[in-house]
Structure 1
Amino acid sequence: MVSPVTVVKSEGPKLVPFFKATCVYFVLWLPSASPSWFSALIKCLPIFSLWLFLLAHGLGFLLAHPSASRIFAGLVFSAVGDAFLIWQDQGYFVHGLLMFVVTHVLYTWAFGMRPLALRLGLGMAALSCLCYAILYPYLSGPFTYLVGGYVALIAFMGWRALAGVRPGGTPWRWTELAAGAGAMLFIVSDMTLALNKFCFPVPYSRVVIMATYYAAQMLIALSAVESRDQDGGKRD
């Protein structure tokens, strides 16, 4: 297993643009009440930086590793979804939601279905039911079904990401730890967003949503560096 120190030394410099772009977003803190193409650009900059992070490993790397290329494609759809959500109050929330549906499908595909970790899957299913039960009384119309499907999908993605973190026996790989942590942070981010939008105001919601979201995307991008395998994105 590659040591964390080695990871920091090799991958840290490639993530500098991401950290700078994230700082720009939080320093400018453009008001969400005044959406513009500039605010969309600033919001998407950290994700663009993660594109560059993966491309820094070479186009050949992405082409040779299906799981890495799927994560890269997921980041592309994430950026489109982020742009749509800038104008969510103008009727583009569903557009953004659908872009993130594609993102989670791609991430799930990248993480693969081995090992199955059925008990973990049942636990994630229970967690998704709990989250949906909290949201359900506040939902109406198409959102009753859209949000339900989205909650199930992101829980499924989280299951496949966490399945690689196997307790005992097999040594953990840092990429699998990154994938699992990234997936859980994504769930925290999206659940906070849903609570704030549909249920009740969440204190410091924007800070929580964006901080966990950017951290989640960084960790998932980092998990692509040491590909799980070179044939279909499935774990050994």
Structure 2
Amino acid sequence: MLRNILLGFIVVLALYYVFFINSISQPFVMVFKLLPMLLILLLAIMTKAENIIPYKTLIIIALIFCAFGDYTIQWFIIGLACFLVGHLFYIRAFLSTKENTAPLWITICLSIYGLSMMIWIGGSLIKEDNMILAIAVFAYMIVILIMGWTSFKTGSKFAIVGAILFIISDSILAINKFMFPVEYSHQLIMLTYYSAQILIALSIPKYSAIRSKVIQ
């Protein structure tokens, strides 16, 4: 019951920040941005997870780094580094499940998508002689695509959909920042981002149920 109330509170706060950011006083914008993430972290901590302590712990650590990324993204490279570390912990968490193998078509689709984005965005940065940023973006794209690929190993729809939404969110952010302005970019980026984090946090009890069946 308490978890459901907390989840509802997270959704309300996230939607308020996503759609009513212009009504928030500038000194409090970052507070309202971080509040949903802090509550998602609390949701993950409160979640009972028998037999999957490593998975839960890794997800919590990933959420912490992502929260740091939310704050430090104003210094882009620092924020990117925080999110990259967060994704590494998501990857480790997903790999710890060993429930399924990622389908071949998923591997192919993610590879084609990643290569296309690298050529498009990375190529543009290289043309602008911004090699350091191009390398950072390349590294981040590779890591987040691996995160998406490993999510299929969990057997959890929450983790899989969450990972895909994370890729979508970061793709919109990259296009908006480096290529051209995306209409309603704030709403699209943050809505998919919060949804991704909520779903990944919700994969903790979902995966627990899967593990319990296997062990029995």
- The TM-score normalised by the length of structure 2 is 0.84
Please state how far the C-alpha of 1:230 moved relative to its aligned partner: 11
Cα deviation code 1:180-234 (max 9, x no counterpart): 1001100010000000101111111111000100011111110112335999xxx
8 Å contact from structure 1 (residues 189, 212) kept in 2: yes
Partner of 2:124: 138
Distance 1:102 1:123 in 2: 24
Distance change >3 Å, CA 136–CA 27, structure 1 → 2 = closer
Contact 2:165 2:192 in 1 (8 A): yes
Verify the 8 A CA contact 1:25 1:43 in the aligned structure 2: yes
Q: Name the SS of the counterpart of 1:131 in structure 2.
A: helix
Aligned residue for 1:163, secondary structure, equals coil
Distance 1:72 1:179 in 2: 14
* Structure having the larger proportion of residues in helix: 2
CA distance in 1, matches of 2:23, 2:101: 44
Aligned alpha-carbon RMSD (Å): 2.9
Unmatched tracts of structure 2, length 5 or more: none
Distance 1:54-1:135 versus aligned 2 partners, 3 A rule: same
Alpha-carbon distance between aligned partners in 2 of 1:144 and 1:213, rounded to the nearest angstrom:
23
1:41-99 deviation per Cα after TM superposition (whole angstroms, max 9, x unaligned): 110111111112122235xx4896111111111111111110112xx2xxx10010000
Equivalent residue in structure 1 for 2:102, among 102, 117, 133: 117
Cα deviation, residue 164, structure 1:
3.8
Q: Show the counterpart of 1:126.
A: 112
Does residue 209 (structure 1) correspond to residue 189 (structure 2)? The answer is: yes
User: Gaps spanning 5+ residues in structure 1: where?
Assistant: 1-8, 166-175
User: Relative to 1, partners in 2 of residues 1:147 and 1:40: Cα closer, same or farther, differing over 3 Å?
Assistant: same
8 A Cα contact 1:121 1:156, kept in partner: no
Aligned residues: 206
Give the aligned partner of residue 62 of structure 2: 74
Q: What is the correspondence of 1:51-66 to structure 2 with a 5 Å cutoff? A: 51-57=41-47, 61=49, 65-66=53-54
Q: 1:227 to 1:66 in 2, by over 3 A?
A: farther
Percent identical pairs in the alignment equals 31
User: What is the aligned partner in structure 2 of residue 23 from structure 1?
Assistant: 15
Letter in 2 for 1:149: A
1:169 corresponds in structure 2 to none
User: Is 2:145 aligned against 1:155?
Assistant: yes
CA–CA separation in structure 2 for the residues paired with 1:212 and 1:27: 13
Query: Are residues 163 and 130 of structure 1, via their aligned partners in 2, closer, same or farther at CA, if it must alter by over 3 Å?
Result: farther
Q: Distance between the aligned counterparts of 1:180 and 1:64, measured in 2?
A: 18
Contact 1:80 1:99 (C-alpha < 8 Å) held by counterparts = yes
Deviation at 1:134, TM superposition (A): 1.9
The change in CA–CA distance for 1:63 and 1:17 in structure 2 (over 3 A counts) is farther
> Where do 1:176-187 residues align within 5 Å?
176-187=156-167
Equivalent AA in structure 2 for residue 147 of structure 1: V
Structure 1 residues 180, 230: closer, same or farther in 2, change over 3 A? closer
Q: Secondary structure at the match of 1:12?
A: helix
TM-score normalised to structure 1 length: 0.77
Shift in Å, 1:28: 4.0
Residues of 2 paired with 1:102 and 1:129: CA distance?
A: 21
